[in-house]
Each structure stands twice: as structure tokens, then as C-alpha cells.
Amino acid sequence: MPPDLLEHALAAKGFMPPEEGALLHRVARERLPHGPALEVGTYCGKSAVYLGAAAREVGGTVFTVDHHRGSEENQAGWEHHDPTVVDRELGVMDTLPTFRRTIARAGLEDEVVAVVGRSTTVAAHWRAPLSLLFIDGGHGEQPARDDFESWAHWVMPDGLFAIHDVFEDPADGGRPPYEQIYLPALASGAFAEVDAVGSMRVLRRTSGTAGDALGG
């Protein structure tokens, strides 16, 4: 990771430990020459800087999808609420302005493309095979399941699928990314695990074609 961009990633508001960000950056460097990367769960752009840094180095484009209204755990009164990312007039969360500042300061506006909307709505119209898919969106059971069902089949053969906050042991954290994304991906028979750091898991697509329904 180029030191100037690492500085921006470390300074950005968000939920991506440096060693997991480094893994994301590494897999993005491998995959971006072969097609686009797509992230579900932009928040304020921290993980997008790790992905965008790879795009600046090897070429390619990173799409990042978020409605920017926050997940359940980001809402007022919850553990991960940040009152500095609330739209005061509307009284709702809005992480889009902070994301835009993060990406502009990092000089990655040509590499990182924001897609503002609900994950399932965007996915319903998505048709491009993905070289890298990174899911870090809603961590409830239904949102996690929806993200898996909406996006995983768009990973191209040999493409990579990274999943954040995968906790096998409930003592370590919430289970939906593990139960609703990671396990179904492996059970589909279309993916095999190739890397892991902290709560980040990276799977490779080993069978099927982008856009075809997954088995399992």
C-alpha cells in the first residue's frame, strides 16, 4: 500500500482494522486487472481507500454501494452511532458527504465510484461480472442474506469474494455474516476459501459463470 494512501485509509472514519484493510488491498491488486471490484457497505469510505489504492496502482474501477443512511447498529442509541454523520435538517444519518471528502482527499475520485441506493435495488439491475466482491453491508440476518443472494453470483470464475465480520464463535461478534453469507457461499460449491485475516474471509470462485444462479 503506497504510504500516502495508507495515511488516508488510517485517518478515515470507519470500521476496517489496518491488517484486514491490507488484505483487501492485496486481493484488489490481484483482481482489478481482470475486471471491476464492487463493495457493499461504503460508510465513510475507509475500506474504499484500501480498494481504490489498488486501482490507482494497477488500474481498474471500484464501485461502492450504500444508501448512506446507516445500518441498524449505526442509528441513534446504538453502539456504533456517530452523531457527526447525521443530517441535521432531516434527522437521519448521511455518510455520503464524509465519504466524498475521504475519497477526494485521497485523490481517488477517478478510481472509486459511489453508487447510492439500497443494495438489493442496485443488484436487481446489475449485470457486470465482478472480479472482486466485498460484502460489508447490513449485519442483520435478512440484510446479510439479501446481500449474499443479490451479489455473490456476479463473481466471475477465478474472481474473489471477500466477506467482513465473519465470526465463527458468537463470543467474538454477531453471526449473520458467518451464517448468512460465508457458510452459504461455501455450501453452494462455487467458492473455496483462500485467505483469512482477523474477521475477513476471502473465497475464490471455483465453478460456474457470473450471473448464473449458485447451487447449494
Ligand X SMILES: C[S@@+](CC[C@H](N)C(=O)[O-])C[C@H]1O[C@@H](n2cnc3c(N)ncnc32)[C@H](O)[C@@H]1O
Q: So which residues are the catalytic ones?
A: 139
Q: Measuring CA to CA, how many Å separate 200 from each of 60, 106, 194?
A: 22, 24, 11
Nearer to ligand X, 161 or 208 (CB): 161
**Can you read off the three cell numbers belonging to residue 115?**
453508487
Residues 145-174 that bind ligand X (CB under 6 A): none
Nearer to ligand X, 65 or 208 (CB): 65
Chain centre distance of CA 77? 25
Q: Which residue is nearest to ligand X (CB)?
A: 14
Residue 143 engages ligand X in binding (rule: CB under 6 A):
yes
Residue 123 engages ligand X in binding (rule: CB under 6 A):
no
Shortest separation between residue 77's beta carbon and ligand X, angstroms: 16
CA-CA distance, 106 to 95, in Å (whole number)?
Answer: 17
Residues 62-81 that bind ligand X (CB under 6 A): 65-71
Residue 138 engages ligand X in binding (rule: CB under 6 A):
yes
Residue 136 engages ligand X in binding (rule: CB under 6 A):
yes
Residue 177 engages ligand X in binding (rule: CB under 6 A):
no
- Which run of H or of E encompasses 96? helix 96-106
Cell 474473489 belongs to: 160
Q: How many CB atoms lie within 10 A of CB 52?
A: 33
CA-CA distance, 111 to 134, in Å (whole number)?
Answer: 16
| Binding-site ranges for ligand X (CB under 6 A) | 14-16, 41-43, 46-47, 65-71, 95, 118-119, 136-138, 143
